Structure formats: structure tokens, C-alpha cells
Structure 1
Amino acid sequence: MFTYIYKGASHSNTSAEYMQNLGMDQEQIDSVLNQQQFELSQNVEKRQAAYKAESDPLFMESQYDGTPESHQKWQDKVAEIKARYPLSENA
């Protein structure tokens, strides 16, 4: 989850209305939104690396085993990676 610090407090809501209500000016809001987009863009590479290191071996194992349990273990790992590294809607 993306968080930012404003006036010593941590926040995760990035709606313009929320940030304006905190007292942020447009430059500060734009900075937060740009940082959020940058971090989300980095998740594409992080996700690819995690798939290669963590889920691909489980996929190969599930193909070899052919059991519902091994297939579920692979699917669970993919879901975990997706939750760990969410993508922006543009990615």
C-alpha cells in the first residue's frame, strides 16, 4: 500500500479532496501523485522477478505433479505476488 507523510503523519488516501483537506497545495498533491505512480511503475519489474523466483518453480512442479493441491499452491503464490506488487491501471 502506498503511503506518504504530511505534517508528521502517515496517510494512504491519495484523493485530491482528502489531500486538500489536509492543507496540501497543488504542488504537494502533484508530488505525492507522481511518487505514487513511480512506485507503481517499479512494481512491474518487481512482479516479474518474483514470478521468476517464486511462482515459476511452483508452476513447473504443478505441471509435473498434476495434482489439484500443487496447482492451488502455484495459484496462491501468484495471488500473493499480485497483492504484494499491485500495478497501476496504466501498466
Structure 2
Amino acid sequence: MFTYIYKGTSHSNTSSEYMQSLGMEQEAIESVLNQQQFELSQNLEKRQAAYAKESDPLYMEAQFDGTPESLQKWRDKVPPSRRPLLNARGRAAACIGNKRRLAHR
């Protein structure tokens, strides 16, 4: 959870109305909102890096081996919402992490 300190007190509500009610000036409000956006972007980058590091190798192994055991190992590591979608042929589409790496080649 994102928090900021204003006049010695920690706050988590980042609505402009709330911060104005505290007496914050517009410049300070914008600074808090910019910091919040920065921290959110850092969290996303860290999650994407962890996903690529931990699950992509298991996914590639499962595709290469084609064994139920290797596929289960990957499924156990990756929540269903993060698994690649299957295309019409039943093959897995590229993971987000794989797409990202391919774009940089």
C-alpha cells in the first residue's frame, strides 16, 4: 500500500480532494501522485521480471519435453490467470515475458 507523510502524519488516501482537505498545495499533491505512479511502475517491472525468471524457463521446458510432469510443474508455479491462452490449434500463445524478450531482439 502506498503511503506518504504530510506534516508528520502518514496518509494512504491519494484522492486530490482528501489531500486538498489536508491543506496540501497543488505542487505537493502532484508530487505525491507522481511518486505513487513511479512506485506502481516499479512494482509492475519487478513482477514482470520475476515472472520471466521463474515461470518462463518452466514453460519452455514443458513445451520442449511435452510430458505431463513438466507441464504440471509449470502450472503449479503460475496462477491460471497468468498462463498463456491457447490458440485454435491448442498451442500456447507466447507469454508476456516471452513477447517482451522477442521485442528486444
TM over 0.5: yes
1:12-62 Cα distance to aligned partner (Å, 9 max, x none): 111001111111111110110111112222233212211022333554577
More helix by share: 1
Q: Distance in 1 between matches of 2:3 and 2:43?
A: 15
Task: Using the TM superposition, give the Cα deviation of residue 72 of structure 1 relative to its aligned residue in structure 2, in angstroms.
Answer: 4.7
Q: Distance in 2 between matches of 1:62 and 1:22?
A: 54
- Rg larger in structure: 2
Task: Give unpaired runs (5+ residues) of structure 1.
Answer: 79-91
Q: Aligned Cα RMSD in Å?
A: 2.6
SS in 1 for 2:53: helix
Residue identity in the other structure for 1:6? Y
1:40 corresponds to? 40
2:75 is aligned with 1:71: yes
With normalisation by structure 2, the TM-score equals 0.55
With normalisation by structure 1, the TM-score equals 0.62
Q: Please tell me whether the aligned partners of residues 2 and 12 of structure 1 are also in contact (alpha carbons under 8 angstroms).
A: yes
Q: Distance in 2 between matches of 1:50 and 1:2?
A: 21
Task: Give unpaired runs (5+ residues) of structure 2.
Answer: 83-105
Identity of paired residues, percent? Answer: 70
